[in-house]
Chain A
């Protein structure tokens, strides 16, 4: 009896891991992070340039 909730949770986790949406979410989140990183670097550049001019 005590193993049932765990099994259900593990089943859900397995289904989540196999879902194409998981891959998609991980993928788009990684791309968003990369864009954010480049964006932050560019904003530092923009800040320096705006201080110069």
Chain B
């Protein structure tokens, strides 16, 4: 039985949503500053308007719904889902006013794609977009990759215990440090330190590729945000292919991989525990799946004779596979080529890689290596049970920071989420089929949207039917928040309509 939410419920959900909107408004001031510095006047006003609206809406909501009550799980989850629904409403405004988007829906799509680190774009004439607007697209990925709520937790939060549910609602389960605030601050420390190192390396590579030093810095910073936050937006319509530089691609590979590694693993690596890389169930799963998938991809590309040399196959194939597996979405070839020139096996591998995704508790999306690893361990345990004498006790363990014993509950939970992911992927694929697109194309794009993979075969474009844009927006959000938070918000909406007083 559902109970109609009362003022207390609205206060708890609205108060924290207001905080997030306020944070998004403040973030818009960064591209506004850039617009001011570069003399992009129209963009400056657009950012100031967007920031003013978000800050006003956020602060007003906070003041009107002020509460000191502790958050419950359902309130926290609903607040996260509502924040993720409303943040693109304000973040999309400067995009719309830039003139590169055909409608508000397109601008909202782009913002959701940014925050959820998807990388699918509906921008018209991306190559001539104002630098401040392009920076905002990438900044949204940086903020969304770490987690919009984590940003707010880091800056505004004063008490960790009661806001822990917000952290969980954003698709993160593992607290690296005992306190949620300290955990979110560590996440930001990792992101900022890697940003300095990664941008410097990319700047050097881009200068080497022939870009002027200031332009290289701008491209380097944006590329870093797109790669580390597994976002996939690019400053140019031809993505990484624009630079025609193998050095840039080589530098991007570990940055994308770092983005797909969990912050818990980064914590271990920061402490100098490099053996964790070899022992961790997720790194093992990702390494094994990369090897298996690359073998299939290489066989597929070999059969179709897409590439004439070993070097080009390795360069294009490996970059695309890592980009897909880390759910980044940066590409060195136009997306349409995957289905026209790469045969059947290679695009199927890319879809699978995007669907599997990176590690749990990272900026990557997809089913996650942890779940795949746990399910495989569960299968191994069941096979061993069958082969051993009936009274034998079979214990399966796995390593994730510490050695843990595999439980039935963990396997069951992983299998349930896996099932939900498959439903999400196929739903988008079926709706694409309904609109007359081929199965291969519609499934590719559906998985790219839901898993945050972001590689595109060209279906996502401004002319795409609006209901499909809505479906992809929903997939992006559900995938990024990993179902539960969206279900909680949906439950509250249902309770408003059908709940008992």
Residues on A facing B (Cβ under 8 Å): 20-21, 23-28, 30-32, 34-39, 41-43, 45-47, 49-50, 52-53
A15 and B257 CA atoms in complex are apart in Å by 29
- Are B257's CB and A35's CB within 8 A? yes
| Chain A: minimal CB distance from B200 (Å) | 11
Q: How far is the CA of A34 from the CA of B283 in the complex (A)?
A: 9
A21 CA to B287 CA, complexed, in Å: 27
Residues of chain B within 8 A of A31, CB atoms compared: 254, 257-258, 261, 269
Residues of B within 8 Å of A24, CB to CB, are: 190, 193-194, 196-197, 270
Residue numbers in B under 8 Å from A42 (CB-CB): 290-291, 294, 298, 314, 318, 321
A49–B310 Cα distance when bound, in Å, is 9
Structural contact, B314 and A46, CB atoms closer than 8 A: yes
Say whether A45 contacts B277, CB under 8 Å.
no
Asked whether A46 lies within 8 Å of B269 as measured between CB atoms, the reply is no
Of residues 266 to 325 in B, which have CB atoms within 8 Å of A's CB atoms? 266, 269-272, 274, 277, 283, 287, 290-291, 294-295, 298-299, 301-303, 305, 309-310, 313-314, 317-318, 321-322
Residue numbers of B with Cβ under 8 A of A are 189-190, 193-194, 196-198, 253-254, 257-258, 261, 266, 269-272, 274, 277, 283, 287, 290-291, 294-295, 298-299, 301-303, 305, 309-310, 313-314, 317-318, 321-322
CA distance A49 to B254 in the complex (A): 25
Leading 4 A-B pairs by shortest Cβ distance? A23-B270, A24-B193, A53-B302, A32-B254
User: How many angstroms from the CA of A32 to the CA of B314 in the assembled complex?
Assistant: 17
A35 to B303, Cβ gap below 8 A? no
A34 touches B310 (CB 8 A): no
Known: A41-B291, A46-B317, A49-B302. A27 touches B190 (CB 8 A): yes
For the complex, give the distance between the alpha carbons of A23 and B197 in Å: 12
Q: Secondary structure at chain B's binding surface: helix, strand, loop or mixed?
A: helix
| Residues in chain B near residue A20, CB distance under 8 A | 189, 193
- Rounded to whole angstroms, the CA-CA distance of A40 and B97 in the bound complex is 47
A-B contact pairs, 26 of them (CB 8 A): A21-B193, A21-B197, A24-B194, A24-B196, A26-B269, A26-B272, A27-B190, A27-B270, A28-B194, A28-B254, A30-B274, A31-B258, A34-B283, A37-B287, A38-B291, A41-B291, A42-B290, A42-B298, A43-B314, A45-B291, A45-B294, A46-B294, A47-B310, A49-B302, A50-B309, A53-B305
A10 to B220, CA, bound (A): 35
State whether B198 touches A28 (Cβ < 8 A): yes
Q: How close is B328's CB to chain A, nearest CB, in angstroms?
A: 13
Query: A24-B197, A27-B194 in contact; A35/B314 too (CB < 8 A)?
Result: no
Residue with the greatest number of chain A CB neighbours at <10 A, chosen from B190, B269, B299: B269
Shortest C-beta distance, A48 to chain B (Å), equals 8
A24-B193, A46-B294, A53-B303 known; 6 new pairs, CB 8 Å cut-off, are: A24-B197, A27-B190, A31-B261, A31-B269, A45-B295, A50-B302
Interchain nearest-CB distance for B352 vs A (Å):
16
B298: chain A residues within 8 A (beta carbon)? 42, 45-46, 49-50
For B253, the chain A residues whose CB sits under 8 A away are: 35, 39
Q: Which of A24, A37, A41 is packed against the most chain B CB atoms within 10 Å? A: A24
The interface residues of chain B lying within 8 Å CB-to-CB of A23 are 193, 269-271
- Is the pair A50, B310 in contact by a Cβ cutoff of 8 Å? yes
A46 contacts B190, C-beta separation under 8 Å = no
Residue of B nearest to A22 (CB): B270
A41: nearest chain-B partner, CB-CB: B291
Identity of the chain A residue whose Cβ is nearest the Cβ of B300 in the assembled complex: A49
Point out the residues of chain B lying under 8 angstroms from A21, CB to CB: 193, 196-197
Question: Contact: A30 with B193, CB < 8 Å?
Answer: no
Cα(A24)–Cα(B255), bound, Å: 12
Instruction: Give the residue name and chain of the A residue nearest to B193 (CB).
Output: A24
